[in-house]
Structure 1
């Protein structure tokens, strides 16, 4: 269940007027901006951007950037992007410059449907005039590269069809596999269909723990992402959100990405998993680790 929904009384002209008033003149009414932007879903926010430009001849994103700052600005701009463009942005950012953030690549590619993958590839080419698959291939290597390129094909079996005999055989093979074999033979298995992966996980009840035990680093993360994409996506995001705020400092990029990307899909389930797993409400941890308008905006998205 989503935490952000379509507004049945959506009025783009009225909301555009409200945003203009909140940003015009001396001072900015951040509370009003938060209230308006979180009152409608992403599709409606795209209409709102066009309406704002029609009425005032101004770019809403540029105006928001000029009025806001810091993590609050980053979160608002992310929230205002169409999902495919935001995912493309996250992938480009993960590969641009020195070093590559393989965890971000794994998170985005593993958790998206075939149709979403196709849309992301198109958006990446449209916005950056680059080929996503070529960039991923140039920035990764080994088993990670194999998994990412396979996911990029957007050709996963999304049906619930299960071959029980194969599921049992795969579970046994995984049980028998030693550390040296994990990540080689299993690379092909981990890009199996959604229903098949879930069936294997049911037969091999400690599969996630086995991945954690036998792997490490980015490869472990990628395997868990692919596995949990079939078995339990909210659990994956609950862990991502917890780790983004645990300890000294906050990984604001991960916090923003997870909140924004799941607001209209399964945020309510993520919140439930968060409490079950960590004994603390997600919104409470956000309040403890952030502040100001940034905190208020994230809380408005996540919901109490």
Structure 2
């Protein structure tokens, strides 16, 4: 269940006027900006952005960037992008400059549907004049590279009828590729985790439990390490309980010293119109603390207020 909804009494002109007023003259009314952006869904924000330029001959993003700073600016600008455009930009950010943010690549590419991957690829090519597959291939290596390239193809089965014989075979193949031999045949994990639908994988993991007498997540942790372990587990966790997967992403972004603000912003922005209520419930169940209290402890000022508004804590 979402925490951000379409405004029922939507007036694109009125919303544009409120944003203009919030930025006009000396000072900025950040509370008004939060109220407008958090009380409209993404589709309505696209209309507001167009109307703002029509009414005032100015670019809404440019005005916001000139008035805002830091993480608050980042979350506000993120809210203006269509979801798959935002994904494309986040993938680019993860591969920009020295080093690569593999966890962002894993989170996005392992949790989006075939149609969403196709849309991300379209926008990535349009924005950066480069194929996403080529970018991922040039910025990663080894087993992780092969696994993420498979995800960029967006070729997962969409046949949601479960083939239980196939599930048994795949489960045995995964066992033989890992626990059942010395060393690990990552290509077998790559094939099964990249090709099968989520319902089919759910049946496979149940069959694996019977064959191996342990959960497949435990086997992956025993057999793999580093980023490829993280990538395999991202698929497995998403199949088992995607709300808990994103709750874990949020927890990791805020635990310990410092905050991974890009992950915190991305998960909140990308899930607030989909299933943030379930993610909040999972967060509290797993970590015995409300998500809002974590945000209040790790964030401050208008940035904190915007995140709280987006998770339904207005």
Shorter-chain TM-score: which interval? over 0.9
| Superposition map of 1:78-97 within 5 A | 78-97=78-97
**Partner in structure 1 of residue 236 of structure 2:** 227
Most deviating of 127-136 and 226-235: 226-235
Asked if the contact 1:283–1:303 (Cα under 8 Å) also holds between the matched residues in 2, the reply is no
Asked if the contact 1:158–1:195 (Cα under 8 Å) also holds between the matched residues in 2, the reply is no
Q: Give the TM-score, by structure 1 length.
A: 0.96
**Partner in structure 1 of residue 131 of structure 2:** 131
Q: Could you tell me which runs of 5 or more consecutive residues in structure 1 were left unpaired when the two chains were aligned.
A: none
**Partner in structure 1 of residue 272 of structure 2:** 263
TM superposition shift of 1:173: 3.7
Q: Do structure 1's residue 147 and structure 2's residue 147 form an aligned pair? A: yes
Question: Which deviations, in whole Å up to 9, do the C-alpha atoms of 1:224-265 show, x marking residues without a partner?
Answer: 112233332111111110011001111111111111111111
Asked if the contact 1:197–1:231 (Cα under 8 Å) also holds between the matched residues in 2, the reply is no
Distance in 2 separating the partners of 1:143 and 1:187: 9
TM superposition shift of 1:212: 2.5
Asked if the contact 2:174–2:188 (Cα under 8 Å) also holds between the matched residues in 1, the reply is no
**Partner in structure 2 of residue 31 of structure 1:** 31
**Partner in structure 1 of residue 190 of structure 2:** 187
Question: Which deviations, in whole Å up to 9, do the C-alpha atoms of 1:49-88 show, x marking residues without a partner?
Answer: 0000000001001111111101111111111111111100
Question: Which deviations, in whole Å up to 9, do the C-alpha atoms of 1:147-181 show, x marking residues without a partner?
Answer: 21211112211332211112123223434523621
Asked if the contact 1:168–1:203 (Cα under 8 Å) also holds between the matched residues in 2, the reply is yes
SS of the residue 1:162 aligns to: coil
Distance in 2 separating the partners of 1:148 and 1:138: 11
Q: Give the 3 Å change call, closer, same or farther, for CA 270–182 of structure 1 in structure 2.
A: farther
Q: Do structure 1's residue 196 and structure 2's residue 178 form an aligned pair? A: no
Distance in 1 separating the partners of 2:45 and 2:159: 32
Distance in 1 separating the partners of 2:276 and 2:222: 29
**Partner in structure 2 of residue 69 of structure 1:** 69
TM superposition shift of 1:203: 2.8
Question: Which deviations, in whole Å up to 9, do the C-alpha atoms of 1:266-295 show, x marking residues without a partner?
Answer: 111111110111001111101111010000
TM superposition shift of 1:202: 2.6
Q: Could you tell me which runs of 5 or more consecutive residues in structure 2 were left unpaired when the two chains were aligned.
A: 210-214
**Partner in structure 1 of residue 283 of structure 2:** 274
Asked if the contact 1:64–1:73 (Cα under 8 Å) also holds between the matched residues in 2, the reply is yes
**Partner in structure 1 of residue 212 of structure 2:** none
Distance in 1 separating the partners of 2:10 and 2:222: 50
Q: Do structure 1's residue 295 and structure 2's residue 304 form an aligned pair? A: yes
Most deviating of 50-59 and 170-179: 170-179
**Partner in structure 2 of residue 18 of structure 1:** 18
Question: Which deviations, in whole Å up to 9, do the C-alpha atoms of 1:123-161 show, x marking residues without a partner?
Answer: 111111221111111111222122212111122113322
**Partner in structure 1 of residue 115 of structure 2:** 115
TM superposition shift of 1:215: 1.8
**Partner in structure 2 of residue 285 of structure 1:** 294
Asked if the contact 2:6–2:44 (Cα under 8 Å) also holds between the matched residues in 1, the reply is yes
Distance in 2 separating the partners of 1:303 and 1:11: 22
Distance in 1 separating the partners of 2:157 and 2:114: 9
SS of the residue 1:204 aligns to: helix
TM superposition shift of 1:182: 5.1
TM superposition shift of 1:198: 1.2
